[in-house]
Structure 1
């Protein structure tokens, strides 16, 4: 087997073929990506414009929408351009940037979801102490920490992945550069890197996931003991929305990054990656808006103001 040159471009084989069915799927993917961008941008706008949503909970939600918006922008434009033009090459620099941004946003979202679970724990279990336990300085530190830890993971994995020599074909059986897929092309021994990547996955996925489970176990215990039916319904509505997002995101991420190498399949990886890079981001604003009366109220207010402006 020949050693490759790390300066050669990679070839992204893509997600879809040029058949009638796959063309239809391509249109569906673009439509979903557009709705995702629009929905997350609208969520950020509503939270920014409506003073009633200027709370730590909605600030964290706006950061989640920002991460999802950037995640779709990192993956979909390149995938769409490759499909439409047939030019599927990507430079090592472009590949490294995709890995960096993808892991920065994905890793940041892991910690951000944990921060959101803590916010819900304080709101449900210690409502009177909420301004102290979930102060704005703490909220900002958790947000910056999420971005920083995600960026550190992204930078380390992007640099380590591209440091290998790759086999001569340079064909990546994926629709974007993802570290586990690229490692399979390396002509060198990658066992140490794979072990380190597995440790990173434990830190980035399982630790926040365990914190989320602990938070929601305490929340569930507190909700069951509530005497007010209305308060119980509101707590369940808010928390179930967050749990739905957590289940979708962590389930797909653990499937991709924490399976044994012998169980990995390129086709399965592409489908699951498409799910959490394209389809999950469109679900987040829908889940939070459809199950949240305050967001729906802010949307009605915004639409009313737009309608009044148009009449004038």
Structure 2
């Protein structure tokens, strides 16, 4: 006697009743890229449908997102001036602080997450203050600056801080800075397992954050390392992270599942720029059913263990989910 699994698949209503994993518009955080000026909405060639926007355009974009049911955004900044320490990121008049204030004034119900790093703000494109001898980021000096940056974002009205620089001890430093400034109730979503990935290429176009020399392998994770990936996220939980993250997502489904099985904390994934661009280019070439592949990919992240998906597909997926 063999098992007849198909009995449960023939009727479409029964198929829906028995579906184990579900995708919802509430799962999504949508990335937005802010720059100074007015009326600016510049599409990025390597990421069709993704734009650098002035703050007034971001405020308008939030109207679109709300109509689609997307109530969470993550902000990245493109400053006018970059320097060796990323001063704009630690200034109350910096691009992200200004954007947070104006978005929250216009859309107080929008949940605003801020990416916390320095690669977009430094003239060398690395994620903190450089150690001139080792020619890599000075971890401990950067921790102090991350704490300052977090407090600036909190004072501007951010609803959650998301540190992405992969500095050792960053969650402890940020949590300490926030608590000391009276923001003990502000959650921290850590990019806790972030790999030194080739999938980030298009993001560096939109965020203008490519390193001027070398790469980020001295602080981002080796894509070959599984046990270390788990240890990184477990450590951030111990330091006080409220939500963990795996980045990228598509090539790291095993890591998503590993982290999921080693923590009870909520888990986010970042469906990164290269993953997005590949689907867009494949659709343009006519080799995939774009909508089906996109939704299957997002569903796969949920099945692997993700609670939250940061994705450039959020608007398109929300439209399909609403049909």
Give the TM-score of the pair, scaled to structure 2: 0.26
Q: Normalized per residue, which structure has more helix?
A: 1
Which protein has greater RCO, CA pairs closer than 8 Å, 6+ apart? 1
Q: In terms of Rg, which structure is larger? A: 1
